[in-house]
Amino acid sequence: MFSAIARVFRTPDLRRKIGFTLAIIAIYRLGAHVPTPFVNFPNVQSCLDQSGSTEGLLSLVNLFSGGALLQLSIFALGVMPYITATIIVQLLRVVIPHFETLYKEGQAGQSKLTQYTRYLTIALALLQSTTLVTVARSGQLFGATSIPECQQLLTNDVWWAQLLMIITLTAGTGLIMWFAELVTERGVGNGMSILIFTSIAATFPSAMGSIWAARGFEVFLMVLAVGVVVVALVVFVEQSQRRIPVQYAKRMVGRRTYGGSNTYIPIKVNMAGVVPVIFASSLLYIPALIAQFNQPQPGQEVPGWVAWIQQYFTSGDQPVYMATYFLLIIGFTYFYVAITFNPVDVADNMKKYGGFIPGIRAGRPTAEYLDYVLTRITLPGSIYLGLIALLPLIALATVGANQNFPFGGASILIIVGVGLETVKQIDAQLQQRHYEGLLR
């Protein structure tokens, strides 16, 4: 293993790519600590120390920004606008036929979709930065708190100061998107995935430190042991797949014979990735947001439905919240898999090139068989996603950790997934230059 790592750094091209990636990561993390203009940085730090964090969707965005959101830095929005834009464009392929046509055109069409994703990212960054500045100006960024510092997060709240903050935050998102494309072209791995990995990994030390400070060294070791087991299980499930055998019949084209090969269709247990967790987290934040905007005036009685939402849907340690979260993840997993994997298209492509599944007729029977397998393999995948997503909420109720608990939810799925993919890419590049790679 150590000799393989040494070969990585002895290979000039690979060493240059890894160095470039690390340099971009360093600049990205530096920008996460540079405050936006007209932000009262001492008050923000004081409020962070006293209140710790926030809940709901803002907690998820803060996790994906590596803690930059609550610090109101120039990279406060992080990669969330790009992730949202990518998911929206992917879902629009089902609704807009032109998008589906572009996707099937190959490299040229997908480049056009990427351009649409960039435009949508800037538009979403503009909208989210406006929301963030408005929330910070109202003193509600850290929730309904009575800490004086949290009510004065801005040094100047005139219109032109707010406009400059919005432009700065939007430009920061554009810069992050450019960094990600540079890493993809000249570095190692997928650039946006690497930046997400960096943001989440940056929150691990503080999250583990808070558990040590609050519950002691014994609980810290227990959480660490559970984390090792969870990582091993996530790696096992993420690598698990159902391989459907496919045979291609021989065909003559001129004097040459084509086909006659055996291959397989890999159907992963977790085909949806982390998207259902993001969907469910975002949807569960809506009731709390509605209740927040329907607070009564001082002296008036709180409406019954607002009190019910505040009791069951604002704190992650409530059983009703956990059950709803789990069921939403299962539902969104089936929804997203149905959108991203079309058995009819796969069956038509196989029939077009003379492929068939042994024992299954080509065409409609193949599509029905693929749908049968996909529906049943998605069930354990969705349950797995729901259980992993509940780990931070269980930790919140048992060991007093916050909702950014490192060994669970979206964080562990992204960390493991990006880590595995990056190691595979490095291994593939090593095998191009040597007979052995990182993996054996």
For residue 291, the model assigns a pLDDT of 72
49 compared with 118, residue with greater pLDDT = 118
For residue 11, the model assigns a pLDDT of 76
Q: Which helix (H) or strand (E) is 83 found in, with range?
A: helix 80-95
Tokens 């001492």, located at residue: 42
Residue 27 pLDDT grade (very low, low, confident, very high; cuts 50, 70, 90): very high
* Separation CA 100–CA 359 (nearest Å): 31
Residue 440 pLDDT grade (very low, low, confident, very high; cuts 50, 70, 90): low
Cα separations in angstroms, 386 against 76, 215, 277: 28, 26, 8
Quote the distance between the C-alpha of residue 435 and its chain's center.
Answer: 34
Q: Where are the alpha helices (H) located in 313-363, listed in sequence order?
A: 319-340, 343-352
Q: Residues 186-198: what's their mean pLDDT?
A: 85
Strands 251-253 and 256-258 come out as: antiparallel
Residue 268 β-bridge partners: 241
Residues present in the chain in total: 440
14 compared with 140, residue with greater pLDDT = 14
* Separation CA 135–CA 219 (nearest Å): 36
Catalogue all structural domains in the chain, each as residue range(s) with its CATH number: 13-203 (1.10.3370.10), 215-439 (1.10.3370.10)
For residue 215, the model assigns a pLDDT of 74
Contacting residues for 154 by C-beta, under 8 A, at least 6 apart: 38, 39, 40, 136, 137, 161, 165
Check whether 170 has a pLDDT greater than 90: yes
Q: Residues 157-184: what's their mean pLDDT?
A: 90
239 compared with 54, residue with greater pLDDT = 239
For residue 383, the model assigns a pLDDT of 92
Select, from the ranges 41-45, 224-228, 314-318, 401-405, the one with the highest average predicted confidence (pLDDT).
Answer: 224-228
- Among the residue ranges 144-148, 162-166, 334-338, the one predicted with the least confidence is 144-148
For residue 346, the model assigns a pLDDT of 86
Select, from the ranges 154-158, 236-240, 283-287, the one with the highest average predicted confidence (pLDDT).
Answer: 236-240
For residue 145, the model assigns a pLDDT of 58
Select, from the ranges 40-44, 383-387, 417-421, the one with the highest average predicted confidence (pLDDT).
Answer: 383-387
Contacting residues for 399 by C-beta, under 8 A, at least 6 apart: 211, 214, 215, 219, 223
DSSP 149: G
Q: Residue 233 is encoded by which pair of tokens?
A: 């299980």
Tell me if 411 sits within 8 A of 67, measured CB to CB: no
- Positive/negative CA dihedral, 407, 412, 416, 418: negative
pLDDT, averaged across the chain? 80
Contacting residues for 69 by C-beta, under 8 A, at least 6 apart: 58, 61, 62, 76, 77, 78, 132
For residue 4, the model assigns a pLDDT of 65
Q: Residue 89 is encoded by which pair of tokens?
A: 């464009």
Q: Half-sphere exposure of 430 toward its Cβ, with a 13 Å CA cutoff?
A: 22
Check whether 354 has a pLDDT greater than 70: yes
* Separation CA 300–CA 152 (nearest Å): 27
E-strand spans in 254-360? 256-258, 262-268, 355-356
